Amino acid sequence: MTWLDVLQSCELNEDTKLIFIGGGNMAGALIRRAVNSNFLTKDDIVISVKSKGSQTKWIDEGYNNTFLDNNDMLKKYPTGIVFICVKPQLFGSMVDQLEEGILQDSPLVVSIMAGLSTQSIAEKLHSTLYSQSIVRLMPSTPCLVGASASLVCYNQLPENNRLSIVTELASHAGTCTILDEKQFHAASAVAACSPAYVYILIEALADGGVLAGLPRNEALTLAAQAFQGAAKMVAETGKHPGLLKDEVCSAGGATVAGVRLLEKNGVRSALIEAVKASTERSEEMSKIK
CA-based nearest residue to 138, from 163, 168, 110: 110
pTM: 0.87
Q: Positive or negative, the Cα torsion across 268, 235, 195, 91? A: negative
Cα separation of 65 and 48, whole Å?
8
Q: Which residues are annotated as a binding site?
A: 21-26, 70
Secondary structure of the chain as H, E, C letters: CCHHHHHHHCCCCCCCCEEEECCCHHHHHHHHHHHHCCCCCHHHEEEECCCHHHHHHHHHCCCCCEECCHHHHHHHCCCCEEEECCCHHHHHHHHHCCCCCCCCCCCCEEECCCCCCHHHHHHHHHHHCCCCCEEEEECCHHHHHCCEEEEEEECCCCCCCCHHHHHHHHHCCEEEEECCHHHHHHHHHHHHHHHHHHHHHHHHHHHHHHHCCCCHHHHHHHHHHHHHHHHHHHHHHCCCHHHHHHHHCCCCCHHHHHHHHHHHCCHHHHHHHHHHHHHHHHHHHCCCC
Q: Which residues are annotated as a binding site for NADPH?
A: 70
**Per-residue pLDDT for 256 more than 80?**
yes
pLDDT at 289 (0 to 100): 55
Q: 3-179 — its CATH code?
A: 3.40.50.720
For range 122-136, the mean pLDDT: 91
Do the Cβ atoms of 133 and 110 come closer than 8 Å? no
HSE of 203, CA atoms in CB hemisphere, 13 A? 6
Q: Which residues are annotated as a binding site for NADP(+)?
A: 21-26
Using DSSP bridges, classify how beta strands 134-138 and 148-154 pair: parallel, antiparallel or unpaired.
antiparallel
**Per-residue pLDDT for 283 more than 90?**
no
CA-based nearest residue to 87, from 67, 109, 113: 113
For range 111-115, the mean pLDDT: 90
**Per-residue pLDDT for 286 more than 80?**
no
Domain limits of the chain?
A: 3-179, 188-285
Tens digit of each residue's pLDDT (9 = 90 or more) over 200-248: 999 999 999 999 999 999 999 999 999 999 999 999 999 999 999 999 9
Q: 188-285 — its CATH code?
A: 1.10.3730.10
Do the Cβ atoms of 119 and 90 come closer than 8 Å? no
User: What pairs with residue 150 in β-bridges?
Assistant: 176
Amino acid at 106: S
* Cα separation of the two ends of the chain: 38
